[in-house]
Amino acid sequence: MAGKYQLLRKIAQGGMAEVYLAKQTGLEGFEKLVVVKRILPHLIENEEFVRMFLDEARTAADLRHPNVVQIFEIGEDAGTYFIVMEFLHGQDVRRVLRRAAELGKRVPPAHGLQIIIDAANGLDYAHKKQDLQGRALNIIHRDISPQNIIVTYDGTTKIVDFGIAKAASQSVHTASGVLKGKYSYMSPEQASGGEMDQRTDQFALGIVLYETMTMTRLFKLQNEIMTLHAIIECNIKPPQDVLPDFPQELNNIIMKALSRRREDRFKDCRELGEALEEFLAEERVLHSPGRLSSYMNELFKDELAQEKALGMPVIDQEG
């Protein structure tokens, strides 16, 4: 692809694109693992899909923050469009929660809250991003979920997949009433097809926070219609009712982020992150990306041992 990228293997496929682990090569034996996202061949003639794909690239290309996936290149090759982004050596939050549950343990608050604090910082940056002329891009991710928050083995947390993000720069706009995103991580306004702002991402992150701290699903019901109704009604069982020893202050923070009315949530994701940092400080809980790294390396020691034996990353392709 464009002579620089060797596709190693497919690691995911969605409705619009396929994703590959690839190797970038260059002068003097330069090699680097990257991820290549390529529009599906049968959609290349569909102008709307091509515009949506390029909208994602435009939205994410200029986002440069430690907690947001970095885009390296956008290009066209052999009649198709592709995006090249950094390879994140780690696991998504869904798999972190699943592995902890398999071991019969809760994710320690120090590590779980470190993940959410860093994700909140990345989202806050994206929400407030301006173009070169100083105009707000008004980015809303709209698909925050455990699958789209990656924790690397070095303890870095990154927001990924701006594929359905809403931004002022987009050329394709979602029709009123059309739902996009994972249903069980929508906000009430998103589930009802209403007007959204950046606080819809805060609500979604609040769901991830709730599930990370309680190890229980919040809105996942028997079918999508029941799930959407539950979100719109927003009758949430407080974490303290799930775990009797749950701290009052953390319970209050989570319930504020999950307020049905946007006006009752935190002003922005930065304020949510700061509230969590203050809670950890008051509880004298030590937390850091380094400590999170140690936890990740212990939690996924079998995968890392397998990678060492194979000499390359092992990527779970499960959906």
Q: Among candidates 8, 174, 129, 7, which has minimal Cα distance to 77? A: 7
Compute φ and ψ for 26, nearest 5 degrees.
-155, -160
Cβ atoms of 258 and 207 within 8 Å: the answer is: yes
Q: Active site includes 268? A: no
Instruction: Choose the catalytic residue: 124, 143, 161, 268.
Output: 143
CA–CA gap between residue 272 and residue 10 (Å, rounded):
36
Compute φ and ψ for 16, nearest 5 degrees.
-120, -25
- Within a 10 A sphere around the Cβ of 163, how many other Cβ atoms? 23
Q: Which burial class, exposed, middle or buried, applies to 1 when counting CB atoms under 10 A from its CB (0-12, 13-18, 19+)?
A: middle
Q: Which burial class, exposed, middle or buried, applies to 157 when counting CB atoms under 10 A from its CB (0-12, 13-18, 19+)?
A: buried
DSSP symbol at 156: -
Compute φ and ψ for 82, nearest 5 degrees.
-145, 155
Q: Among candidates 225, 62, 202, which has minimal Cα distance to 120? A: 202
Please give the structure tokens belonging to residue 71.
């885009």
Termini Cα distance of the chain? 26
**Residues assigned a catalytic role:** 143
